[in-house]
Structure 1
Amino acid sequence: MRFSILFFTAVTAFFAVGVQASPVDSPEVNIIARTPYFHGNAVCYYPNGNYGACGWVLQNSDFVIALSPAHWDNGVHCGQHLNVTYNGKNIDGIVGDICSACAPDQIYISSGAFEALAPLGVGVIPVVWNFT
């Protein structure tokens, strides 16, 4: 009987420590941890109320992002949010178009989104971006 009590106590202590040591599962933490960051240039573009490749009208003031063919993946990211960082500033944009002439990690961002990061006259800025 004494063995059973000691064994039960040891097993209970083992599981209690394991539960306490487990991190709290948070969707935000998991998304960030699994999302790669890309380094490329962001180019300012003007959708001018035209339809984007995702099928809806895009305005210059919208925070719209056009992905390169390397990330387009047949439009699977349409409507997905991207976090774009430049020089300590961040924007949250939505994938709405494809940039067929872009380099693999290059993105086009609408003039409204670009202006939140840098003056429009700059035209091209080095950014870090990721899907959120």
Structure 2
Amino acid sequence: MAARILSSSMLLVSVLTALALAAPAPANENTTLEKRIDHFGDATWFNVGLGNCGVVSFNSDKIVAIPKALYDQNNGGNCFQWVEITDQRNGNVHYGQTLDSCPSCNDGLDLSPSLFEEFDSLDVGEFPIKWSFKAFGFVPPI
């Protein structure tokens, strides 16, 4: 009798384990991965203020304005998303947060003065970059 109860219990545990392993994970933004898309263009700088994402920023903040066409295409869905920016001249990498859009940027980014100066002097005016959005929830290293 004890062997039959033990056998039934083991069968029940096996069935429950199999069901748990077969169940799909719940879909949410933490389990959904997007393909990384690299964009290539020029970095320029601008004096920040009230951006399209509805936040007032300061020139000392690490802010990016993405191309207006991309902002519109995503209905502002990239607001507050961090961007990884690579200087194509030397490989230096820095991060900025999307808080605005740029009507004249084509495939490049407009950077706040403080973010631009992490790469070069404002006198340079522009330089070639590669950039991509980081996953929501990303926090840049200090």
TM over 0.5: yes
Q: Tell me the residue number matched to 2:130.
A: 128
Residue 37 of structure 1, CA deviation: 0.6
RMSD between aligned residues: 1.5
Per the alignment, in what secondary structure is the counterpart of residue 128 of structure 1?
strand
Aligned to 2:108: 106
| CA distance in 1 between partners of 2:44 and 2:113 (Å) | 9
Look up the match of 2:99.
96
Deviation (angstroms), 1:53: 0.6
Cα separation, 2, equivalents of 1:70 and 1:55:
18
SS at match of 1:116: helix
Shift in Å at residue 44 of structure 1?
A: 1.1
Quote the offset at 1:101 in angstroms: 2.2
Q: Which has the higher helix share?
A: 1
Pairing 1:37–2:48 present: no
User: Aligned partners of 1:106 and 1:92: how far apart in 2?
Assistant: 14
Partner in structure 1 of residue 52 of structure 2: 53
Structure 2 match to 1:68: 67
- Residues 80 and 97, structure 2, Cα contact 8 Å, conserved in 1: yes
TM-score, normalised to structure 1's length? 0.70
Task: Give unpaired runs (5+ residues) of structure 2.
Answer: 1-31, 135-142
Identity of aligned residues (%): 32
Cα deviation per residue 1:64-106 (whole Å; 9 max; x = unaligned)?
0001123212211000000001022111110000111221x11
In structure 1, the residue matched to 2:117 is: 115
Could you state the TM-score of these two structures normalised by the residue count of structure 2?
0.66
The equivalent of 1:12 in structure 2 is none
Mark the runs of 5 or more structure 1 residues left unpaired by the alignment.
Answer: 1-29
> How many equivalent pairs are there?
99
